Chains A and B, each alone.
Chain A
Amino acid sequence: MSNAHNAGFTGYLQRDLLLAYRRRGEAASPLIFFLLVATLVPLGVSPEAGRLEPLAPGIIWVMALLATLLSTEGLFASDYQDGSLEQMIIAPQLLAMPVLGKVTAHWLVTGLPLTLVSPIIGIMLSLPSDGFIPMMASLALGTGCLSLVGAVGAALTVSLRKGGLLLSLLVVPLYMPVIIFGSATVQAGIDGLNWFAPLAILGAMLATAVALCPLAIAGALRLVSSN
């Protein structure tokens, strides 16, 4: 029985990674958005390091959040349209497992690349060097939370044709703790304080989200498909 559940997780993880690879351009769009907006900030604010420095942690986190939000909407949309979502729901396994597989794939193609390119943006925004490791650590954990919470909203709005705004309204309030502790981690690193404390809270949020969000997503998908 547990083998079937694991197969659901790895199967959907592999399938979604393959699908993302086939649509590389679309899959890369959050990352490109992240990089493009980051290049605009020094132009719009000021290229002076002294003025960018205090803003950098917040700007990086806001952009990471928007980039993730941008990609969340399509998480279940194509599966819903072509009928594979229904097949997923009636598969003989716990629905939370394929759901977790899909969200993990989403994080691997959005959150992880954002984390990996964030040092480039750190340099563009003159982030002090002490902030780099806390930034990457907080982004790695925080984008995981963003993917999971965003997927709940995506599941609830999947049957709506224009669910984009509603999705933002639903999930942005839930994103607030993530951005608060995410940028606090970076700020603490810059100020030479102990940045493990806010990072640990992010870790706790991620652990809670991993445990609860797949269940909420599965419930939302069942609800949507029963209409």
Chain B
Amino acid sequence: MPQSPLLKVASLSFERDDCTVFQPISFSVEAGDIVQIEGANGSGKTTLLRLLTRALEASSGSVFYAGVDIDQCLYDYREQILYLGHQPGVKLNLSAEENLRWMSPASTAPEAIVSALADLGLRGYEDVPCYSLSAGQHRRVALARLLTSRAQIWLLDEPFTAIDKQGVAFLEQCMQQHLNQGGAILVSTHQDLAITGVRKIRVEPADDAGGF
């Protein structure tokens, strides 16, 4: 019997207000795979990623984690995913360090948090409340989670928004390293990634979605 893929999406679709958001989509992701989700604005890239976190319930189709439906192993599955959405989840009244400590696994060493922030160019900003940071720096605080997390599957929704060129290069390097360590990444972005072996998946709006 062949081994089940890390993540398998079987004819997943989602309806909002009786209107199908995108055409049923199927793909599978193995350890070490990077999948770029493409599609026009409003085609449902974010919806697809949120379906994969199971924050949204799919209208039809299923997601399997290591061969098991994620509804059957929800907590185990969620241990293994890291989702970064449009809103980075950074609390403005907490400092960068407090935010990252808060978002990282409880056993993360304080040094690991400081060094993750330093790697993302936030050295010296550890104790600054986040309301005085810029949009790009906010994003960097959230992205520092990638360095402290132990999740195997990264679900990144437009991770490069407001990030400068050096930042993007650094993140691509992080992503490459994660893949080399047997991780898997699903990323929605309009940019071309400087990572080898990127597989592309197009999210097509459903025919009855209208609008275009």
Contacts and interface: CB of A to CB of B under 8 A. Distances in A.
A89 B57 CA distance: 13
B88 A83 contact: yes
Given A18-B94, A19-B91, A23-B93, A92 B85 contact: no
Interface string B144-157: 00000000000000
A15 interface: yes
B87 A226 contact: no
How many B residues are at the interface, by size bracket?
20 to 34
Given A90-B55, A226-B56, A226-B57, A84 B89 contact: yes
A86 B93 CA distance: 18
Given A22-B94, A81-B87, A86 B75 contact: no
B106 to A, nearest CB: 6
A11 interface: yes
B93 A91 contact: no
Contacts of B106: 7, 11
A225 interface: yes
B11 to A, nearest CB: 20
A92 B87 contact: no
A159 interface: no
Interface of B: 16, 53-57, 74-79, 81, 83, 85-94, 98, 102-103, 106, 129
Given A7-B106, A81-B87, 15 more contacts: A4-B75, A11-B102, A11-B106, A15-B94, A18-B94, A23-B93, A82-B87, A86-B85, A87-B83, A90-B54, A90-B55, A92-B75, A222-B55, A226-B55, A226-B56
